[in-house]
Amino acid sequence: GAPTDKLALSDKAPASHPSDPGLQLSISADEAGSIAVGSPITYLQQEIGHVETINFNGSGKKIDIAITIDEKYRHFVLDDSRFYLGSGVNVAGNITDLDIRTESLASIIRGGISLLPSDNPDAKPAAEMQQFKLFASRAKAIVDGHEVVLEFDRVVDLKVGAPVKYFDHVVGSVDKV
């Protein structure tokens, strides 16, 4: 009989190959939000790439997102770059200090990922297939500090978003109670 070709079935969409045009990167996320295949990757609200695939990782507890940065913009992505969910409108602050930040129109409509500009003069260009973490917001990408867990012997009235201060300087915020 004639040889038969076997079709390999996979539960994951294929990502671009490192030799494909552009910079191929991987982003690990706790959730995908409103991101979809084709969602834009933005830098300073300008589209510089797009989402190729979205899959559960091996354990099924995280999301792996494959992205492509257009060749002409690859120099914006450095080895210490930070990506964050750039979908929609973010409102933060209180009655005396309100901060409203919107992403690009494409990101508002289709969901998206934004790249935070790096201020590290020693950073090197990102490597093909380098893996990054996806932060839930621009503020979390900027802070990217260490998590501190506090336990109290009695009930304390703390709310998510409450500032953490050190000598009257805000150094963080409460993420989970």
Express each pLDDT in 98-131 by its tens digit: 655 554 454 444 578 999 988 889 999 999 999 9
Express each pLDDT in 37-95 by its tens digit: 999 999 988 999 999 999 988 888 899 999 999 999 999 999 999 999 986 555 555 65
CB atoms within 10 A of CB 36: 12
Express each pLDDT in 133-166 by its tens digit: 999 888 788 877 666 777 878 877 888 888 888 8
Q: How many residues does the chain have?
A: 177
The pLDDT assigned to 156 comes to 77
The pLDDT assigned to 107 comes to 43
DSSP 117-159: PP--TTPPBPPTT-EEEEESSHHHHHH---------SS-----
Host H or E run for residue 163? strand 163-166
Q: Hey, what are 144's tokens?
A: 């990217």
Q: What is the pTM of this model?
A: 0.68
The pLDDT assigned to 87 comes to 67
The pLDDT assigned to 164 comes to 81
DSSP H helix total and E strand total for the chain = 2, 11
The pLDDT assigned to 69 comes to 97
For the ranges 28-37, 128-137, 164-173, the maximum mean pLDDT occurs at 128-137
